[in-house]
Amino acid sequence: MRAVLAGAGSLGRGFLKRLRDRPAPVDLVGVLTAHHGRMIAPEGLEPSLALNLVESEGLGSSAPDDFKQVIEAVSPDVIIECIPQNIRTGEPALGILRSALDAGVHVVTANKAPIVLGYRDLLHRGAKSRAQFRFEATVLDGLPIFTVAANLFDAQIVRVRGVLNATSSVVLETIQDGSTRSRGLARAQAQGIAEADSVLDLDGWDAASKAALLANVWMGGALRVVDVARKGSDEIKDDHLRAAAEEGLRYRLVAEIQKNDDGNIRASVEPVALTPDDSLYPLRGGRGGITIETSLGHTHTWLQESHGVDDAAFGLLHDCRAILAGLSQV
């Protein structure tokens, strides 16, 4: 697949490293950033060169500023988008995704905001041009939950409960282990998993964004991030967190989404003291997990034993492979 990578920060660079280090069915023909240059290379671009440039003098300015002209110049098969989420408008990512799908170019994104705000519109555009958009890296990184859920056949997902934000987990666990909030945040930042704006993680916005995304994709909802009842990890005082640790409780920011019999969807994010019998209790550090309940009465729990930038990069590649394999749109 000829691919343009939009965004080469933590995740974009993790993706370039994966392309550099392991065989993948992806030929890079462009890399776009905001402040580290924009390069196109219709004949192909070595991932190691792109990585070196973005980490040193920058990528230069061979790519046009207008994204539609980038598409015309390099005729990509797929756009891989890793731009910071803008939970209010979804921009500039939403515009990029729309332009790609309208031009019949597949989209793989790690960015929740455009999916929350534009899922149905993007589905419609993709269906018209026969282009797919996939987004495994948006929730639980490389765990292919959307691909699995799309193959549950006649089972509808009616309830979801999950630990979906790694940074708040690292911060809460660090405090419960006796250290400080700022040290916890520094740990998450060093792992490259924190959002560019850490308020998104700690105040629950990122988890709320994922909850809205799951409600819209899995339950046919039309939730915005502000429709999710939200309490952040800072709502629980350090003393309380440490006392809970002594009782063997693990605090995590837990997202819950429920579709009621009348079709209404309720979604919330709040810090919860997990007890040892909770299916999400085994999660340590920034690891995430999710429990889904279906209309047929089945319950599935997926726990992700690893987490980090490489898992998210794997999620992006999973989506590329799914498109190449002709899997149906999720």
Interacting residue ranges for ligand NAP, rule: CB under 6 A: 6-12, 32-36, 82-85, 92, 110-111, 137, 141, 192-193, 195-196, 309, 312
Q: At what angle do helices 166-176 and 181-190 cross, to 10 degrees?
A: 140
Residue nearest to ligand NAP (CB): 9
State the nearest-atom distance from the C-beta of 223 to ligand NAP, in Å. Answer: 18
Return the number of the residue (139 or 175) whose C-beta is nearest ligand NAP.
139
HSE-up of residue 316 (Cα within 13 Å, Cβ side): 32
Instruction: Name the 3-class secondary structure at 326.
Output: coil
Return the number of the residue (111 or 236) whose C-beta is nearest ligand NAP.
111
State the nearest-atom distance from the C-beta of 275 to ligand NAP, in Å. Answer: 28
State the nearest-atom distance from the C-beta of 221 to ligand NAP, in Å. Answer: 20
Q: Which helix (H) or strand (E) holds 175?
A: helix 166-176
Residue 205: closest CA among 184, 231, 223: 231
Sign of CA dihedral 21, 23, 24, 26: positive
Strands annotated E in 33-73 = 38-40
Please check whether residue 254 is in contact with residue 271, taking contact to mean a CB–CB distance below 8 angstroms: yes
Return the number of the residue (34 or 222) whose C-beta is nearest ligand NAP.
34
Return the number of the residue (8 or 170) whose C-beta is nearest ligand NAP.
8
State the nearest-atom distance from the C-beta of 48 to ligand NAP, in Å. Answer: 17
* Cα(280)–Cα(24) distance, integer angstroms: 33
* Cα(8)–Cα(15) distance, integer angstroms: 8
Return the number of the residue (232 or 241) whose C-beta is nearest ligand NAP.
232
Return the number of the residue (112 or 259) whose C-beta is nearest ligand NAP.
112
State the nearest-atom distance from the C-beta of 194 to ligand NAP, in Å. Answer: 8
* Cα(166)–Cα(207) distance, integer angstroms: 9
Query: What residue has token string 């040892």?
Result: 276
Sign of CA dihedral 223, 225, 227, 233: positive
Return the number of the residue (111 or 233) whose C-beta is nearest ligand NAP.
111
State the nearest-atom distance from the C-beta of 65 to ligand NAP, in Å. Answer: 10
State the nearest-atom distance from the C-beta of 92 to ligand NAP, in Å. Answer: 4
